[in-house]
């Protein structure tokens, strides 16, 4: 019997399934047999190459003898990096297991523009570093923040380098920009029209690429920081998001 569905998968969930399976010393064939799942598709699901349905995950969770929420449980085997929400400084900081540097920030996604890769309610971690073509990025328009993919429509044009002398009187090449590049912010969902963005546009700004996505079905502990300290303190509420079985 086949399970998952076509399209982008979720490597985090797939890795979690694989980890639980290996902790039981099961082969992929063992889990496929116990869950009545097609083995090639199960392998693709574990590696994030295909999507999945809730029904298929329920079958896999039952075979593994764990609640379905266990497949979405966040685990940070290494250091935890506490990342602030860019659009809500009063919101508790987010615990990221992804090594981040510079000035990273978190954002809760507000639309389905990049579904099925990124859904409304997912948390993305962004770092202000150079992005590459086709990468998901966080952009800003006024006071609004959103996630889109980006590509170059018109490359920047540079004049031939000019020879100038620096403060020490030594000659050096100086490149002069003749024309800014023009970028396009686009969605995977046709309901969201593309947006043209000149590089120096003051209305739209590309803040950086998405370096981590956390599905909304993860159980995320709510935390606050102690006054003047760096250690997070747990709040009374159990989680800021949860999954329904």
User: Does residue 79 fall inside a structural domain?
Assistant: no
Q: 18-60: per-residue pLDDT in tens?
A: 878 887 889 999 999 999 888 988 888 887 777 777 788 888 9
Report the alpha-carbon distance of residue 67 to residue 140 in Å, rounded: 38
Q: Which range among 65-69, 182-186, 231-235 shows the weakest confidence by mean pLDDT?
A: 231-235
**What DSSP string runs through 190-243?**
TTS--EEEETT-SSEEEEEEEEEEE-TTS----EEEPTT-SSEEE-SSS-S---
Which domain CATH number covers 45?
1.10.260.40
What pLDDT is recorded for position 232? 36
What pLDDT is recorded for position 73? 62
Q: CB–CB of 59/3 below 8 Å? A: yes
What percentage of the chain exceeds 70 in pLDDT?
71
User: Does residue 187 fall inside a structural domain?
Assistant: yes
Total structural domains in the chain?
2
For strands 94-96 and 81-83, give the pairing: antiparallel
The pTM of the full predicted model, rounded to 2 decimals, is 0.52
Query: Does pLDDT of 199 surpass 50?
Result: yes
What percentage of the chain exceeds 90 in pLDDT?
19
User: Does residue 88 fall inside a structural domain?
Assistant: no
| Domain span at 53 | 11-72
Which domain CATH number covers 169?
2.10.109.10
What mean pLDDT comes out for the span 65-83? 68
What pLDDT is recorded for position 229? 33
Q: Let me know whether 64 and 107 are in one domain.
A: no
Size (the chain), residues = 245
- Pick 169 or 136 by higher pLDDT: 136
What mean pLDDT comes out for the span 96-101? 68
User: Does residue 226 fall inside a structural domain?
Assistant: no
User: Does residue 116 fall inside a structural domain?
Assistant: yes
What mean pLDDT comes out for the span 211-236? 45
* Angle (deg, nearest 10), helices 28-35 and 54-64: 110
């Amino acid at each position: 019997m086949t399970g998952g569905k076509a399209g982008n998968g979720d490597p985090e969930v797939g890795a979690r399934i694989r980890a639980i399976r290996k902790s039981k010393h099961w082969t992929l064939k063992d889990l496929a047999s116990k869950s009545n799942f097609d083995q090639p598709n199960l392998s693709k699901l574990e590696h994030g190459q295909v999507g999945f349905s809730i029904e298929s995950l329920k079958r896999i969770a039952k075979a593994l003898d764990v609640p379905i929420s266990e497949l979405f449980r966040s685990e940070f085997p290494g250091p935890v990096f506490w990342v602030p929400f860019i659009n809500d400084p009063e919101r508790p900081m987010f615990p990221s297991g992804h090594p981040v540097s510079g000035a990273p920030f978190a954002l809760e996604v507000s639309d389905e523009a990049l579904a099925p890769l990124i859904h409304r309610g997912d948390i993305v971690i962004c770092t202000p570093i150079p992005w590459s073509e086709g990468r998901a990025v966080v952009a800003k328009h006024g006071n609004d923040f959103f996630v889109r993919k980006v590509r170059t429509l018109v490359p920047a044009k540079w004049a031939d380098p000019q020879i100038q002398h620096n403060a020490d009187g030594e000659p050096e090449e100086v490149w002069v920009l003749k024309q800014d590049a023009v970028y396009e912010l686009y969605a995977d969902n046709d309901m969201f029209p593309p947006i043209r963005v000149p590089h120096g546009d003051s209305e739209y700004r590309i803040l950086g690429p998405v370096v981590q996505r956390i599905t909304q079905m993860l159980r995320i502990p709510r935390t606050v920081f102690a006054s003047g300290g760096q250690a997070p303190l747990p709040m009374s509420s159990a989680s800021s998001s949860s999954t329904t079985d």
